[in-house]
Amino acid sequence: MTKPLVGLLLEGTYPFVQGGVSSWVHQLIRGLDKQYNFALTFIGSTPSDHPKQHYKLPENVLSLDCFYLFAPEADCRTDFGTQHAYHKKLSDPAHWGKPRRHRLRPHRTQRPSASGTRWFIDLIHRLQNPKTPMNQRLLQGFLANNGPIQHPFYPTDMHRYRFSQEHALSSTILWKLLTRDYERFCPTEPFNHFCWHYRGLYQQLFRIAHIAQRARPADMYHSISTGYAGFIGAILSAAGDRPLIITEHGIYTRERRIDLNDAPWLTSPRRTSCVFDRQHESVIRTLWIRFFEQLSHTAYHQASHITSLYAASRRLQINEGAAPEKTHVICNGIAHERFARQNHLVRATSTPRVALIGRVVSIKDVATFIKAISIVRLSHPTVQAEIVGPLDEQPEYVEQCHMLVDLLNLSNHVTFTGSQEVETLMPTLDVLALTSISEAQPLVLLEAMASGVPIVATDVGACREMIEGPDANAPAPCGLIVPIASAQASAQAISHLLANPALREQMGQCGRQRVQTHYAESSMLSAYHALYANARDSASHRARDTTTDTTRPEAEQWRIPFVHWGFPSTFFGIKPR
């Protein structure tokens, strides 16, 4: 019997990035190898940002297609190879790091049709109102808007909705909107700056359409985020009437909001000294935030099941627009037996050893860990700290961390070891520290708990729930929680644990028990197996789209009054001048 094919949509993660989400994806694919095959669609920024494939793809991965949103356009069409050929290729290690890379290029098409123009107007309307998700017909239009393409999901009547990127970006409709919003909201800003942001935003939509047109058909789709990946999943799900499952480790829209808050490319070239004189920046920022909100809302709307890792994350998904009845919590799990086996390892020395395990990137706030160690050194002069994890993702941040080690004279105390085998490392540690400023449900905490290592972690994501237990009746904690960006609090917690071997032992025991009870890998895998089976069988999927009334005449469905072109006066959250 043929195994069902799951189309995994991965944005900026597996198999080109190491880290928690990638490990989780690898674990899921391997764990379900008997029941499912997988077709991977990777969406990244540029090939140079993701040069190396870090994981050997399991046998049940039949294809890997890579798309880059910001790669230079080039003439490189793609064809749909047979799954068998790809399977052979991918199982050969000689082909690692040589996945099929697609270049995205706009195609010249015939003049836009009237239906295509109406499709674009409706699209603009939905981007301005992110609370209203795109309906099935609008999503199907994405497969048609760059000219006919041989796609199994291509609806036969969609050729009528042709509308290309060229037409969109040079259309009178977009120009009118652009100039009106410029005059209304940012008249003091250089026009070029505003214009390129505005066009860039719409350009992204057409790049998404290209990816959706080239994505491999599957029996169901599973996107590991909302955003671009989730939206492409929504298009494919709507066009092929296939179920879509969304799993979010971090909440995508929230993370994009945080990124955009500090994005240097949003900073205006105009300098001002008044903190309240920068509304124009927030206008452009709001445009982008609303764009991502629309992508997420549509993905949530189209999905049949939405999963998160912990209860607070589920609440955030509901706040961001997910229907509560679609949401489920499926915790991460690990094969704790692997770690239990290593517990016989005996410590070679009595030197206190602390480690931070994770990628050396700014979100992990390694700098705070280094500063904490410089404080711990005052009470434990022989302390040895290891920073274990890949150093190639943010080289400039790694350099900052090295600089800090030098400035604090910690060269004899702090070591950057690069990636290491966690199972053998864990039993040699006294304390595991995690100083991240943002996390979901970190696997490294589960690994430390399974190894009986006490934890000091910041109060982010599910860390508190994991350390102190999911409910008030939970037994003793398996570590200590500290506030973010506080080297002093982290240092106090680490010193406290280093000074109390009995407490460390007690916390270690508690961690082992908790991971066995709540975070077993088998539970996680069986939950996803059940979810996939349920999604396939779910008949409700076909009748999901309630916003499209198929009984109405087609022309009426597309009728969007032109008076709605512009933004309402309260758009962007500011009053027009």
Partner 1 sequence: MTSSAQDPFYVLRHSRSVHRKKAMLLGAKTLPPTQACRLFRLALTDPNDEIRLIGVSQLKRVEHELNTKLYTAKSRFTHASAAQRAAIALTIAQLYFDFLYLHIADPALRSHYLSEANRYCAFALEGNLPEAALLAARIALMADEPKTANQFLSRIGQNTLPLFHVMPYLAETAFAQGEYALIKPSLHLASARSRSLNRVQRFWQ
User: Closest approach of Cβ 351 to partner 1, in Å?
Assistant: 22
- Which CB sits closer to partner 1, 37 or 458? 458
Residue located via tokens 């829209």: 253
Helix (H) or strand (E) holding 531: helix 521-537
Kindly state the DSSP code that residue 348 receives in the 8-state scheme.
Answer: S
User: Closest approach of Cβ 111 to partner 1, in Å?
Assistant: 42
The burial of 516, by beta-carbon neighbours within 10 Å (0-12 exposed, 13-18 middle, 19 or more buried), is given as middle
Could you tell me which of 258, 216, 223, 269 has the C-alpha nearest to residue 240? 216
Residue type, position 510, single letter: C
- Under 8 Å between Cβ of 41 and 11: no
User: Closest approach of Cβ 82 to partner 1, in Å?
Assistant: 47
User: Closest approach of Cβ 403 to partner 1, in Å?
Assistant: 5
User: Closest approach of Cβ 261 to partner 1, in Å?
Assistant: 5
- Which CB sits closer to partner 1, 275 or 543? 275
- Under 8 Å between Cβ of 367 and 398: no
- Which CB sits closer to partner 1, 30 or 257? 257
- Which CB sits closer to partner 1, 279 or 526? 279
- Under 8 Å between Cβ of 467 and 432: no
- Which CB sits closer to partner 1, 95 or 402? 402
User: Closest approach of Cβ 221 to partner 1, in Å?
Assistant: 30
Distance of CA 388 to the CA centre of its chain: 23
- Which CB sits closer to partner 1, 3 or 278? 278
Could you tell me which of 138, 162, 166, 146 has the C-alpha nearest to residue 214? 146
- Which CB sits closer to partner 1, 152 or 381? 381
- E strands within 297-394? 305-308, 327-329, 353-357, 384-388
Here the tokens at position 430 are 């006294």
- Which CB sits closer to partner 1, 67 or 572? 572
Task: Count other Cβ atoms within 10 Å, centred on residue 57.
Answer: 23
- Under 8 Å between Cβ of 231 and 17: no
User: Closest approach of Cβ 250 to partner 1, in Å?
Assistant: 12
Rounded Cα distance, 567 and 440, in Å: 35
User: Closest approach of Cβ 502 to partner 1, in Å?
Assistant: 26
Task: Report how far apart, in Å, the C-alpha atoms of 311 and of each of 128, 470, 540 are.
Answer: 30, 9, 25
- Which CB sits closer to partner 1, 199 or 257? 257
Here the tokens at position 266 are 């949003």
**SS3 label, residue 470:** coil
Residues in contact with partner 1 by the rule CB under 8 A: 254, 257-258, 261-262, 271-279, 281-282, 362, 365, 367, 371, 374-375, 378, 400, 403-404, 406-408, 437-438, 484-488, 491, 573
Reading phi first (left if > 0) and then psi (alpha if -120 to 50, else beta), residue 56 is in: beta
User: Closest approach of Cβ 251 to partner 1, in Å?
Assistant: 11
